[in-house]
Structure formats: C-alpha cells, structure tokens
Amino acid sequence: MAVNRWDPFGETTSLRDAMNRLFEESVIRPTAAMPNGRGAAALLDVYEDGESYVVEIALPGVSPDNVEVTVLGNAVTVRGEWPARPEGRNYLHAERGGGRFERSISLPTELDANKAEAHAEHGVLRLTLPKAETARPKRIQLKTGA
C-alpha cells in the first residue's frame, strides 16, 4: 500500500487561474440567472422615474398568466415559465430556453408594494414600483425666533 504525502502547495491555484475564475464568476451572463445555468433568462432594464423605479423585463412568448411578481421591502422578484418547445422539431440552432425562470433585484430604497403596478404588452413586462413614503426626501420647515 502506497502512502501519499500531503503537499500543501500541490492543491494551490496559480494567480492567473484564480483571477480568471474570479472574473468569469463576477460577469453576469444572461444564462447565469437560471438556476440550472441553461436556457434563456429574463433580461431586464431598471431605471428611476421620479418617485418610482421602473423595471422592464423581456418575456417574449410568456403568457401573463404564467408570471408571478412579488415585492418585499426593497426587493422585487419575477417568476414564470417559458413555453415548452414543440415536439418533433429538428433544431439547427436553439438559444431560447424553456422551463422556469426567476429574476430578483434589490433596489436602493424600500418600495410601496400597495401602489406597485404591472403591465404586459408586446412581450415586455413593465413594473412601476413607487418608493415607500419613508424612502422619499422630506423637506423640513425652518423655524425662526425664540
């Protein structure tokens, strides 16, 4: 029976390999949002519009009945399911995924979930998420005198 001696330097990674892995893991790819890393993720844009945030999510071919939106604190999550590909096709190239998807995003301030609105049109889900009253700037009246 051979005994292998443990070499503490035998399991090390070169700095280049470590940096490459760090860079690869820090870059968000569209498929990185999928739990299994396959298929197409729901791509989104987020912008601020006055006292609200707007999230636009590309969901081509997804029925609004197959989408769930939840808001908790400053986080919004969109879950749904892409339609399955038709059986019997011989695909030469396929990039659109199938199955479940989920995207979550944390916004800089708390949201007012009771005033949130969702609208789907032409394959784009548009969420309007008002900032919570406590997250909005307040003007303080200055008092003068004694």
**pLDDT, position 45:** 94
Q: What is the pLDDT of residue 86?
A: 86
Question: Average pLDDT for residues 14-38, to the nearest whole number?
Answer: 58
Q: CA quadruple 35, 38, 39, 41: dihedral positive or negative? A: positive
Q: Given a cut of 80, is residue 55 above it in pLDDT?
A: yes
CATH class for the domain made up of 37-84+100-136: mainly beta
Q: How confident is the model at residue 40 (pLDDT cuts 50, 70, 90)?
A: low
- Evaluate whether 132 touches 109 at the Cβ level (below 8 Å): yes
Residue 49 burial by Cβ neighbours in a 10 Å radius (0-12, 13-18, 19+): exposed
Domain ranges of the chain: 37-84+100-136
Residues 131-146 have a mean pLDDT of 81
Which ranges in the chain belong to alpha helices (H)? 15-26
CA 35, 36, 42, 45 torsion: positive or negative?
positive
Instruction: Say if residue 84's pLDDT is above 80.
Output: yes
The overall pTM is greater than 0.75: no
Residues near 41 by beta carbon (within 8 Å), at least 6 away in sequence: 30, 31, 32, 33, 34, 97, 101, 103
